[in-house]
Every structure is written in C-alpha cells, then in structure tokens.
Amino acid sequence: MATGKNIRTYFEGAWHDGDLPVMNAADHGSWLGSTVFDGARWFDGVAPDLHAHCARVNASAEALMITPTVSTEDMVAITLEGLKAFGPDAAVYIRPMYWALHGDATAIVPAPDATGFAICLEEIPFAPAEASIRLTRTRFRRPVLEDAVVNAKAGCLYPNNARMLAEARSKGFHNALVADAMGNVAETASANIFMVKDGEVFTPIPNGTFLAGITRARHIGNLMHDGTEVHETVLTFEDFETADEVFMSGNMNKVTPISEFDGCHYQTGPVTRRVREMYWDWALSDRP
C-alpha cells in the first residue's frame, strides 16, 4: 500500500513510473513472508547514509537466507539515477527490497540464487519539526533472535509492531514504548528511542532484540562530537518516567519529540532541538 505519492519503481533492470506490481502469487515472499527492505531518505539534494542503508538490506537478505543479487555500490548508483526524476524540493522515501522467489524441497527454506529485487521511491514529506507524539505501554514485546529474525529489517516482524501500535491507539496514544524479553525498554513500535536526564543522553543498549538504527548511530556520533555524554545502557520504564526529554530516532523523520509517556509530560527541550540541528547540518554538508 502506498503511503505517499509520485512513486517510481525499479524492477528487472529499468525504472518505471508508478507503483509497479513486482511479486507473483506463488513467490516465496508472497505466501511465506521472506521479504526484507530498508529505508533511506532523499531531501534537499542529499541522501544521507544511503550506502549504509543499501548495505544493510543485503545483510538483511542474508539473515533470511535470501541471496542478495545487487552490490551495495550498484544499488546506490541505481537509486541516484532514479532520484533524478524528482524535483529539488521533494522529500523521497527510498525503499530497496528483496524477496525469495522459490523454496527448497520443503518449500519453506528459500532456495539459493532465486531472488526478487526492487527499489521503490515514494515522495513522502517529513513531519513538521514541532510535531510530537504520545507514548504508552504495550503488552507485546520485542522478540529475541531465538524466536525471530530480529537481526534483519524483515517484513515478517512488522505484524508484531502493528499490534503494538493498534493497542496504543486504542488507548488514545500515538505509539508504544516497548519492552524486550527481560522487561527493559528496547525501542518504540516504529523507531529507536532516546531520553535526556540532567543534560546527558541515554538510549537502550543493543541486546539483539531490536535493530540499532543507522540514524540512531548518526545521532550518537553527532552528540559525542558536540561534547554531549551518551550512554548506551539498560533502561527501565521508570527511567523514562523521570526523564527531562525523550525523542525517537528513525529514518522516516530523523528526530521526533515525545510529549508524553503514560501521564509523564515532556517539553521539546534543548538537547532534542540540538540533535535535529546537528543532523541537518551534517546531512547538508555533503550537498554538492
């Protein structure tokens, strides 16, 4: 389902205008869920960390036993070629994706060297900088590697995220702050999470239950270069109840302030604003 407009699709060696059908009913990805994707952004003439996002979709494919068929460098080049059709003010969501075409003799395990590949470019604007969201708890948790392919950005993980979001919305909130298997905070239902306390920044330590995002790593690097102390550590829900600021980090909007967590209210504070400012300064420093 398209969420934006002005879509272009790369499939079978060429760019096409529109939301092109790319998968058959009998493809392994259609009925057994062997799909992986990644998301990057194009805005103001730059595509920050595009190489890292393309490299990660290849790693995600391997985690699902799907054979990657496009090198990171070629994927970057194909994407940049497709972006030439968009206007200079367009904000574009870049989504490379793989899926298995066939299974082995059991039909369940993806067959090697039988891979579908596409790139979808979809014009989706950023949320307004002042937009904030409200979080609540959810009874659903992030799985561990022994239960699910949490080391991949895989489509099969997203029904769990969807029920987290649906539960949060049924309670009147926008999103959910989600626990790992041990009951500690992992991330939200759709993005990584940071909190600020006494001018220092804290974020859950990667423990194999969530993807430590590319944009998350960029924020950590920018903050440390700016002289802000950043702690990757175990965090509880109680830690977030006493935080001074909370913000989400994800590719779609880069920085999203949090205004509430289950009755605990926050302002969009100086650290959150500084993180946004530093990200855009860094991203646009690469602009030709």
CA nearest to 152, candidates 61, 70, 55, 68? 61
The DSSP result for 85-129, as a single string, is TS-TT--EEEEEEEEE--B-TTSSSBPTT-EEEEEEEEE-PPPPT
How far is Cα 250 from Cα 205, in angstroms, rounded to an integer? Answer: 16
Backbone φ and ψ of 153, nearest 5°: -90, 85
CA nearest to 1, candidates 158, 111, 145, 108? 158
Q: What are residue 141's DSSP bridge partners?
A: 179
Q: Please say if the pLDDT value at position 247 is more than 70.
A: yes
Same domain membership, residue 150 and residue 51: no
Same domain membership, residue 181 and residue 70: no
Same domain membership, residue 153 and residue 65: no
Same domain membership, residue 204 and residue 138: yes
Provide CB contacts within 8 A for 17, sequence distance 6+.
7, 8, 85
Task: Say if 161 falls within a structural domain.
Answer: yes
Q: The whole model's pTM is what? A: 0.94
Q: Please say if the pLDDT value at position 286 is more than 90.
A: no
User: Which residue among 123, 146, 162 closes a domain?
Assistant: 123
pLDDT band at 129 (very low <50, low <70, confident <90, very high): confident
For the segment 209-232, the average pLDDT, to the nearest whole number, is 97
Residue 264, token pair as written in the block: 């605990």
Segments forming the whole domain that contains residue 268: 133-284
* Residue 2: predicted pLDDT: 62
* Residue 1: predicted pLDDT: 53
Query: 């306390």: which residue's tokens?
Result: 197
Per DSSP bridges, beta strands 200-204 and 230-233 are parallel
- Determine the Cα angle at 234 with ends 229 and 237, to 5°: 105
Instruction: Compute the CA torsion angle 170, 155, 134, 247 (nearest 10 deg).
Output: 170
Instruction: For residue 36, count other CB atoms closer than 10 A to its CB.
Output: 28
Q: In whole numbers, what is the pLDDT of the chain averaged over residues? A: 96
Same domain membership, residue 196 and residue 86: no
Same domain membership, residue 105 and residue 35: yes
User: Which residue among 66, 89, 123 closes a domain?
Assistant: 123
Q: For position 56, which CATH number holds?
A: 3.30.470.10
Instruction: Kindly report which listed range (25-29, 48-52, 87-91, 197-201) carries the lowest average pLDDT score.
Output: 87-91
Same domain membership, residue 218 and residue 143: yes
Task: Say if 128 falls within a structural domain.
Answer: no
pLDDT digits (tens, 9 = 90+) for 45-102: 999 999 999 999 999 999 999 999 999 999 999 999 999 999 988 999 999 999 999 9
Per DSSP bridges, beta strands 230-233 and 245-250 are unpaired
pLDDT band at 258 (very low <50, low <70, confident <90, very high): very high
How far is Cα 222 from Cα 194, in angstroms, rounded to an integer? Answer: 14
User: Which residue among 123, 151, 167 closes a domain?
Assistant: 123
pLDDT band at 125 (very low <50, low <70, confident <90, very high): very high
For the segment 269-278, the average pLDDT, to the nearest whole number, is 97
Could you give the number of structural domains in the chain? Answer: 2
Same domain membership, residue 238 and residue 158: yes
pLDDT band at 131 (very low <50, low <70, confident <90, very high): confident
Query: 């998968």: which residue's tokens?
Result: 23
